[in-house]
Structures are given as C-alpha cells and as structure tokens.
Amino acid sequence: MRKLIEFKNIVKEFNGTLVLKGINLVIHENEFVTLLGPSGCGKTTLLRILGGFLSQNEGQVFFDGIEISKVPPYKREINTVFQRYALFPHMNVFDNVAFGLNIKKQDKDTIKQKVTRMLKLVGLEGYEDRPVTLMSGGQQQRVAIARALVNEPMVLLLDEPLGALDLKLRKEMQHELKKIQQEVGITFIYVTHDQEEALTMSDTIVVMNQGEIQQIGTPTDIYNEPENRFVADFIGESNLIEGTILDDYRVSFDDQEFECIDAGFGENVNVDIVLRPEDIDIVPVELGKIRGIVKSSLFKGVHFEIVVETPYREFIIHTTDNAAIGSEVGLHFFPEDIHIMQKMGY
C-alpha cells in the first residue's frame, strides 16, 4: 500500500500544556485507521491538524508527499464528519450534500446525479427535500457522511461520529461505515475512545495517551500483544500482574515460576504481565497452575464473569462454565496466554 499521509514530530500546545508530544505516524492509502485513546489524549487535536483547523507548533504534515501545513482547509482533499455532524440547519438534505459541489460550481445535472448516488449509498434515497433538523440522529449521521464523501476526497476524517447514537444504532453504523469504506475505497481516519468500535472496524489502530502514541498495530496485535500496561488496561479487561522475567521463556509472579513464549527481555528483569480473562480456565484444584477461592460470579449473557481470590490478588475470569461461590478451584492457562510487556517509563 502506498504511503498517503505522514506526520513528522508533531508538537501542539494549548495555553502551556503539551497536547501532542512529537507524533510520528504514517497512514496508507485505502486504510481504515482508528486513533484510539481516552478523552484528552490528543486524538481529536491530531485529526484537526490534518483537517487544517488547527496548526501545530512544531513538525510537519505530508499529504501525498507534499507538506500541507500552510494549505487552508478548503484546499485540502480531505473531508470531515464532525462530532455533532455540523449539518447546515437552514438547508434540506439535498442542499447539505450538494454544498461542496455547489462551491466548486459543478453543473446542476452532475450535482444532482452525484448527490442521488451518494444518498443511495448511505441509504437515504427519497429524503432529498427533508429539512435536516427533522431527522433522527442516525439519519443526520448518514447525511454528514454523504455530504463529505460526495466531494470524492482521498481521505475521510471521522471525529467520534457515533458518540451521539444509542447502542443498537451504533453497532449498525459500525458495520455500515466499514461497508461504505470498502465500497468507496478511500482512507478513513476514525477517532474514538470506544475500544470496541476500534476493534470492530479498523485495519490499523493507533492507541494514544497523554499526547503520545502507545502502540500501532492491527486489532489482533493490539488486543493480543499489548506493548505496555496502558494499552493492555485500555483495550479489554485484563489481569495486570507485576512479575520478573527470569530468563528466556521463564517468568515468575506470585512466587511461582511459569513457562512462557517470550524471549529477549534479559535476565531477572521486572516486567508487566497480562492474562486476559478469557484465556484463563477454571479446572479442578489439582490440575490448576494457581489455586484460589471463588469470590463472586456474575452471568453476563454469553459467559460468566468469575472472580477468584488467591493469596496474592484477585483474578477476573470469563468462562462459559459456572463455579460455586466459596469453592476452591484451580486456574489454568497456556504459556502463550502469558503476555509479557516492558515496564513503562513512568
């Protein structure tokens, strides 16, 4: 895939606080990239710099090989779907979608044709004359997407576009967005704080925290091989354990030694360890690597969330088999389920 966008050492400060601390990031053509992180991590700021609505204090932004920091937003081949959609309330659906084409002074027939095609793509055929203020959140969302895509941008930026929708609609739109992206075949850069959204749609996830990139990778990479404690904690539920790597393939925690599949960390180095709740199995005491007492059990629809207490900590376990509260059980996991991460600098 061709390199389309490159951020080089982007620094941004607001009133003395560093919001972006030197971001380096490459985004490829036709990629669905998600900037994921808690609020205030700088993800929206980065998106706005790319859109041209903010300028960085340091660093460069390359678009198709050209530095675009000085290019005003209206000259960038980038369109945005805004957080609250920012539809023009004084225009109907058609005029909203046609806005960009009208500005470019395209002829009436072309505009009509393009707008109709786009409304069909987002499932809003026949809504042309509807005032946007009378539409539901989901429909407004679709208008916003159509309004951006009709300009045939090379990149579509989406700033937490599903935040205002209810859960069910959000799930529907996640699939639809992915489908639309595959149909139009352009780069989508999606900003969210919802890890599930990120895991569902993205080709690449960029996890950010406090103005820094924590990890870049595919959803499976990010989920299975978190690079540090923050990523592990932010993505999914985890048992985070401090331990020591004794040697290649040998790790110790809770005063016990375990076999693992990681190597190259050195000898006797303190590390962070992740055990995903669904990777732990509850087995009879004698078969377990660790033993503990079942403290609570909650039915979560598909699985049970069981908390097992050991002398060192509590483990959260997701399993389809229930276990009686108060009973002593064994915990089992495989060497490949132990994810070892370098300790974070702070």
Assess 130 for contact with other proteins (CB under 8 A): no
Strands 290-299 and 339-342: unpaired
User: 26 to 65, contacts with other proteins by CB under 8 A?
Assistant: 51-53
Identified binder of other proteins from the candidate list 16, 65, 89, 301, rule CB under 8 A: 89
Assess 86 for contact with other proteins (CB under 8 A): yes
Assess 292 for contact with other proteins (CB under 8 A): no
Assess 287 for contact with other proteins (CB under 8 A): no
Identified binder of other proteins from the candidate list 74, 109, 264, 300, rule CB under 8 A: 74
Kindly give, in sequence order, each residue whose CB lies less than 8 Å from that of residue 157, ignoring residues fewer than 6 positions away: 47, 50, 51, 78, 79, 80, 81, 189, 191
Kindly give, in sequence order, each residue whose CB lies less than 8 Å from that of residue 301, ignoring residues fewer than 6 positions away: none
Q: How far is the CB of 85 from other proteins (least distance, A)?
A: 8
Assess 78 for contact with other proteins (CB under 8 A): yes
- Per CB under 8 A, the segment of 74-82, 118-126, 184-192, 196-204 that binds other proteins is 74-82
Q: How far is the CB of 70 from other proteins (least distance, A)?
A: 13
Which residue, 78 or 231, has its beta carbon nearer to other proteins?
Answer: 78
Instruction: Return the half-sphere exposure (C-beta side, CA atoms, 13 A cut-off) of residue 324.
Output: 4
Assess 191 for contact with other proteins (CB under 8 A): no
CB 308 within 8 A of CB 336: no
- Per CB under 8 A, the segment of 33-41, 82-90, 112-120, 206-214 that binds other proteins is 82-90
CA distance 319 to 329: 13
Identified binder of other proteins from the candidate list 37, 42, 100, 161, rule CB under 8 A: 100
Strands 250-253 and 239-247: antiparallel
CB burial of residue 5 (10 Å; 0-12, 13-18, 19+): buried
Per the structure block, which two tokens stand in for 31? 């990629």
If we measure between CA atoms, which residue out of 160, 159, 165 comes closest to residue 139?
Answer: 165
Assess 82 for contact with other proteins (CB under 8 A): yes
Which residue, 54 or 307, has its beta carbon nearer to other proteins?
Answer: 54
- Per CB under 8 A, the segment of 79-87, 219-227, 230-238, 246-254 that binds other proteins is 79-87
Size of the site for other proteins (CB under 8 A): 25
CA distance 36 to 195: 7
Identified binder of other proteins from the candidate list 147, 193, 276, 339, rule CB under 8 A: 147
Per the structure block, which two tokens stand in for 22? 């030197």
Strands 32-36 and 187-192: parallel
Q: How far is the CB of 34 from other proteins (least distance, A)?
A: 20
Kindly give, in sequence order, each residue whose CB lies less than 8 Å from that of residue 316, ignoring residues fewer than 6 positions away: 237, 239, 277, 305, 306, 307
If we measure between CA atoms, which residue out of 90, 138, 94 comes closest to residue 119?
Answer: 94
Q: How far is the CB of 100 from other proteins (least distance, A)?
A: 4
Per the structure block, which two tokens stand in for 249? 């393939």
- Per CB under 8 A, the segment of 69-77, 168-176, 243-251, 333-341 that binds other proteins is 69-77
Assess 165 for contact with other proteins (CB under 8 A): no
Assess 137 for contact with other proteins (CB under 8 A): no
Taking only Cα atoms into account, the Rg of the chain, rounded to an integer number of angstroms, comes to 24
Assess 72 for contact with other proteins (CB under 8 A): yes
Assess 85 for contact with other proteins (CB under 8 A): yes
Identified binder of other proteins from the candidate list 79, 228, 238, 239, rule CB under 8 A: 79
List interacting residues with other proteins (CB under 8 A): 51-53, 72-74, 78-80, 82-90, 99-100, 103-104, 147-148, 151
